[in-house]
Amino acid sequence: MRLTSTLHIQVAGKSMNDSRLVTERNIWLATTRPNGKPHLIPIWFCYVQDKFYICTQDSIKVKNLRASPRASVALEDGNRPVLAEGTARFIDRPFPADVVSAFQEKYQWTIERDGEPPAEDKTYNILIEITPEKWLKW
């Protein structure tokens, strides 16, 4: 059996040109628990103006990011991976209009109405923004 090495390409800069960042339904989000153990979950996301946005409810990932804002994200496709490492921050209401529109267009999901969670879904009320600082693609 012959093993071949995999080429890992680090892309400089905070921007990545890959249409899947807009079209993929899910992204893998990796955070670190306060005890140092990793936490990895697939989740809906939108990529707007070179940043990842995740709308969620209070959860383990939220607690982890409040304790340590470092995060990694990866597209689901393991054959053509795109990964980013970055810093997360929590966005206050009103949420950015372009992000609200992106969630509506991509998932037909209203994450905010008139600066408040929609009456039909008040559980998902936390918006996380992840700014990539390092990209990996191979």
Q: What is the pLDDT of residues 12-69, one digit of tens each?
A: 556 687 889 999 999 999 999 999 999 999 999 999 999 999 999 999 999 999 999 9
For the domain that residue 33 is a member of, what is the CATH number? 2.30.110.10
pLDDT at residue 5 in the model: 40
Assigned domain for 5 exists: no
The model carries a pTM of 0.88
CA nearest neighbour of 86 among 20, 13, 7, 1: 13
Cβ–Cβ under 8 Å, residues 127 and 53: yes
Rounded CA-CA distance 93/11 in Å is: 33
88-108 pLDDT tens trace: 999 999 999 999 999 999 999
pLDDT at residue 24 in the model: 95
Residue-level length of the chain: 138
For residues 64-85, average pLDDT: 95
Q: How many domains does the chain have?
A: 1
Identify the burial level of 83 via C-beta atoms within 10 angstroms of its C-beta, where 0-12 means exposed, 13-18 middle and 19 or more buried: buried
Assigned domain for 13 exists: no
Q: What is the DSSP letter of 127?
A: E
Rounded CA-CA distance 91/99 in Å is: 11
Assigned domain for 55 exists: yes
Assigned domain for 4 exists: no
The tokens describing 131, both together, are 């700014």
